[in-house]
Chains A and B, each alone.
Chain A
Amino acid sequence: MTLASLTKPWAPMSYGFLDASAKRELRRKMVKAVCVPGCQMPYASREVPMARGWGTGGLQVSLTLINPQTCVKVIDQGADDSVNAASIRRFLSRVSGAPVTLDTLQADLIQSRHRIPEEILREDQVLVLQVPNPEPLRSVQPNMSIARQMHGDADYGRMWLQLYEQIVRSGRVMQGASYPSMVNGRHVMTPSPIPRWDVPKLHMAKHLTILSAGREKRIFAVPPYCRVEPLVFDDVPYRVEDHAGLTCSRSGAKGFFMNEVPQDDGTSAFELSDSEYGVKSIRRAEGDPVDLGDTWYTNGELTK
């Protein structure tokens, strides 16, 4: 072994921004995360040129997986054109030379903040979700060491109690986003603050989902064809948001998750939260030959 064999030629920047040792650490943790679905694995969470809490966890996963052939899509609450999504997309492409897309069907890697696209993801696609708070037990147990013990014991009684109290107080489960879900019948995870509408999309999905919290330094995963069951009582069924009957005021698409846009006269208009699906629907209506993929929901009903 010589000194030359242990060193590398000088380069102004590592490929994909992260250095090789950061990538190897993330790879080892991703391997374990996939092997124990839904279990939070601690990882180092390196510095990236973005403030913690703005998607650094997802960004590090994307930077590890990316290569010059990976087609990248980044969304923020369903929109491709928000500042956060556009900045991350531009950064990913600048440090890797990877092509970018807005179209869910063309993407190999989708980094997302708080939404899962409306079109069904394929077996070769990876969804990376940014997670602000990876600990589903935090609201019932602020001490994370004890929370870890509770995960170890599969002691989720307080989680159920919290849901029960919401039903008793308010008549329904008040948890809107990050609905606690049982993964592979063993670990309760937070699916990141995706709406209730999106949680059933993770159940027995074809794609691989990796959830990464950069500020909290935790990574977990949902492999394809894995059970993800929202915590519900037998007599109080799981309910998604009441968006099945809503129509998008711009594209005319019906039965998808909508953004509410308040109007001057006090009423509300709605538009598709998945912005690119809306754009494609409009282009299709105008006669452009665009591919609209199969969607998880048809007319507001879950299809699978």
Chain B
Amino acid sequence: MLTTPIPDAAETRSNATFDAILWALSRPGLPRNLPEPGEAALIEALLDRECAAYAGDPLLIPVLAQSGARLVDLSEADHVFFGRLLDAEYLRACRVGSDLYPDDGATLVIRARIGQGATVRLTGPGVNGVVELQLDGLPAGFWQERARLIRYPMGFDLLFLDGDRLIGLPRSTKVEVL
């Protein structure tokens, strides 16, 4: 007789984290809550030995090593954890995939403060009409650089992390700086 398996703490955490990631990217600009603050939850839900990751923040290196992901240069990473992004030029090295395989584009996780700073207006899939988003802590010229680098369907997908709050910005979203 089959007994129903019980989810352990890691499974529950990963499931809730992925739920937040999936809905954050499905509804760009609307914050979702992670079960616990920080990148560790994202790493646990998404990364394993099959991944190549880049850590901008040295404190994340042990967490990534624990997941089994290879630590590589920015230009080879499929998951990039910048921590605070200091210079928009770093975006240029990130993988954008190809027209044939857009899934080779990287997922970028950047720490930012949600609800402060400059306002941008989002349109595109997942956005009901328009959404206005305030983000602080991004380097100068960030949005211009993103617009320049993304040639849909090539591009990278962004996750902004503020403590336990997460905002997703897929490559399909158009950003207008106000």
Q: State the A residues within 8 Å of B (CB).
A: 1, 5-6, 8-9, 11-16, 20-21, 23-25, 27-37, 39, 41-42, 64-68, 94-97, 123, 148-149, 151-153, 184, 186-187, 208, 223-227
Contact = CB atoms under 8 A, between A and B. Distances in A.
Contact of A67 (B3, B15, B50, B98): B15
Interface of B: 2-8, 10-12, 14-16, 18-19, 21-23, 25-27, 45-51, 65-66, 98-100, 102-103, 105, 107, 124-128, 152-153, 157, 170-172
A38 to B, nearest CB: 9
Given A39-B102, A42-B103, A27 B45 contact: yes
Contacts of A97: 4-6
Contact of B170 (A29, A35, A96, A225): A35
A35 to B, nearest CB: 4
A9 B152 CA distance: 44
B161 to A, nearest CB: 15
A44 B17 CA distance: 22
6 contacts: A1-B65, A28-B51, A29-B103, A36-B172, A65-B19, A97-B5
List 9 tightest A-B contacts by C-beta distance, closest first.
Answer: A35-B170, A152-B99, A226-B125, A32-B103, A15-B7, A97-B4, A223-B126, A152-B100, A35-B157
Interface residues of B, dominant DSSP:
loop
A88 B76 CA distance: 40
Contact of B171 (A6, A30, A33, A35): A35
Nearest to B170: A35
Contact of B5 (A20, A64, A95, A153): A95
Contact of A36 (B8, B19, B23, B171): B171
Contacts, number: 137
Given A15-B6, A208-B26, A224-B126, 5 more contacts: A21-B48, A31-B107, A184-B124, A184-B172, A223-B170
A34 B18 CA distance: 13
A5 B153 contact: no
B172 to A, nearest CB: 6
Contacts of A15: 5-8, 11
A152 B21 contact: no
B27 A31 contact: no
Which residue, of A34, A96, A149, A151, has the highest number of chain B Cβ atoms within 10 A?
A34
A94 B98 CA distance: 41
Contacts of B128: 224-225
A130 B100 CA distance: 24
A24 B25 CA distance: 16
B172 A37 contact: yes
B66 A5 contact: yes
A3 to B, nearest CB: 13
Contacts of A227: 125
Contacts of B5: 11-16, 95-97
Contact of B7 (A8, A68, A226): A68
A202 to B, nearest CB: 12
A193 B102 CA distance: 25
Nearest to A33: B103
